[in-house]
């Protein structure tokens, strides 16, 4: 089964093409090679070379992408191991693997895969229980790759047993390839191996009705502790170099270089940036630290700190140091705390020269944005009396 939560991408014509991958064996010169089969949203498949879906189907048919394994044949995984097959067993067929690849392409494009199409037709049947609708649902069920049918309902107790029974109908035969699955149904006691009884059918209908009720309740639920998604749009804090305070600074007040003096351990700093860079200087260099703290601008403070010896181990402590400085800033400047609180629960994207601190168009780790969100949450907590 192809797990589409393994995400990768390739770039084509300046666009990111999402993809995912699974393991397969390639047979080349009589030997088998364990490799990655990569499937992309635009329908291309990489199996030692990038090919179209039609070309991939031909490679499957020829056995070059192997779905049968020959006993005694040599196999290897690149830079991993080599071995010979003793009693190999595989449930894959060319048709099954091709169906899985087609499903993966559909999911990568946000379209219903074979399972989604089947469940949609099941809903149609449950709303209008004609034999024509049942037949359509049955056909769609059989179109699901056999390796994925057990997962169609997302229920590892019943697996796909209720689905088999529903599309077969009372007195009907279970879909081909489904015999024996009754034992996996868990609570479906007395389930027959081939023909659906009236009792089994009623159990299956009740299963889907309960499943629909649960899904509706889940979709309509309101989490007790608040929404799961941000209710505010993302907030971009672009890099600026303010010359002085403003009566209405807006989000520029959230910049570390904004002139909001803070006092920490008896020392005053013009900005958070001054304090951060001063604290990064080794304790054996008090003059350098004082010079950083007294620098004319945040940029100058950084330049002076860069030229001075660094405090040993500062890289491991820097996020904790910055958190302490941000707490001091917003505790000592309530008007700026109000600006930060006013951003609600929006994701904060902070641009910076550093890809560690800044988001920088998605290239950076955005630690400053995350710490601002943390301090904002603490301010919200104080406001409701749990801080």
Q: How confident is the model at residue 184 (pLDDT cuts 50, 70, 90)?
A: very low
Residues 111-127: tens digit of each pLDDT: 999 999 999 999 999 99
Residues 126-141: tens digit of each pLDDT: 999 999 999 999 999 9
Where do the structural domains in the chain lie, given as residue ranges?
Answer: 8-108, 114-218, 235-383
- The CATH code of the domain at 235-383 is 1.10.357.40
* DSSP letter for each residue of 73-137: -EEEETTTEEEE-SS------HHHHHHHHHHHHHHHTT---HHHHHHHHHHHHHHS--HHHHHHH
In the predicted structure, residue 46 carries a pLDDT above the cut 60: yes
In the predicted structure, residue 229 carries a pLDDT above the cut 80: no
* pTM, to two decimals: 0.63
Residues 296-318: tens digit of each pLDDT: 999 999 999 999 999 999 999 99
Tell me what pLDDT residue 135 has.
Answer: 96
Percentage of the chain with pLDDT > 70? 93
Q: Across all residues in the chain, what is the average pLDDT? A: 91
In the predicted structure, residue 347 carries a pLDDT above the cut 90: yes
Token output for 295: 């620098």
Q: First and final CA of the chain: distance in angstroms?
A: 48
Question: What letters, b where the CB count within 10 A reaches 16 and e where it falls short, cover 13-48?
Answer: eeeebebbbbebbbbeeeebbbbebbbbbebbbbbe
Among 115, 194, 200, 190, smallest CA distance to 154 is for 115
In the predicted structure, residue 366 carries a pLDDT above the cut 60: yes
Residues 53-92: tens digit of each pLDDT: 999 999 999 999 999 999 999 999 988 999 999 999 988 9
Token output for 225: 């502790």
Q: Which residue has the tokens 């890809």?
A: 355
Q: Which residue has the tokens 């609600």?
A: 344
């Amino acid at each position: 089964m192809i797990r589409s939560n393994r995400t990768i991408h390739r770039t084509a014509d300046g666009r990111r093409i999402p993809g995912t991958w699974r393991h397969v064996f390639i047979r080349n010169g009589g030997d088998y090679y364990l490799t990655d089969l990569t499937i992309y949203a635009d329908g291309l498949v990489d199996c030692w070379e990038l090919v179209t879906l039609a070309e991939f189907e031909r490679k499957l048919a020829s056995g070059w992408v192997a779905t049968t394994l020959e006993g005694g044949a040599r196999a290897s995984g690149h830079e991993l191991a080599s071995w010979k097959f003793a009693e190999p067993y595989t449930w894959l067929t060319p048709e099954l693997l091709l169906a899985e690849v087609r499903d993966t392409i559909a999911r990568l494009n946000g379209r219903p895969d074979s399972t989604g199409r089947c469940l949609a037709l099941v809903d149609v049947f449950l709303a209008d229980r004609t034999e024509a609708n049942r037949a359509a649902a049955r056909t769609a069920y059989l179109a699901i790759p056999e390796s994925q049918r057990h997962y169609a309902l997302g229920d590892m107790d019943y697996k796909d047993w209720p689905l088999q029974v529903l599309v077969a109908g009372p007195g009907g035969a279970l879909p081909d390839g489904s015999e024996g699955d009754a034992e996996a149904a868990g609570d479906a006691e007395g389930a027959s191996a081939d023909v659906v009884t009236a009792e089994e059918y009623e159990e299956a209908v009740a299963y889907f009705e309960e499943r629909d009720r649960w899904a509706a309740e889940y979709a309509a639920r309101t989490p007790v502790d608040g929404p799961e998604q941000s209710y505010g749009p993302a907030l971009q804090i672009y890099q600026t170099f303010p010359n002085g305070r403003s009566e209405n600074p807006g989000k520029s007040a959230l910049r570390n270089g904004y002139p909001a003096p803070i006092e920490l351990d008896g020392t005053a700093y013009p900005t958070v940036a001054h304090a951060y860079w001063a604290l990064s200087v080794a304790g054996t260099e008090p003059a350098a630290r004082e010079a950083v703290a007294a620098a004319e601008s945040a940029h100058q403070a950084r330049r002076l700190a860069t030229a001075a010896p660094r405090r040993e181990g500062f890289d491991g402590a820097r996020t904790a140091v910055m958190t302490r400085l941000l707490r001091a800033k917003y505790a000592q400047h309530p008007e700026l705390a109000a600006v930060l609180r006013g951003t609600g629960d929006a994701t904060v994207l902070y641009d910076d020269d550093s890809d560690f601190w800044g988001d920088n168009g998605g290239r950076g780790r955005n630690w400053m944005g995350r710490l601002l969100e943390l301090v904002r949450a603490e301010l919200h907590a104080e406001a409701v009396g749990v801080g």
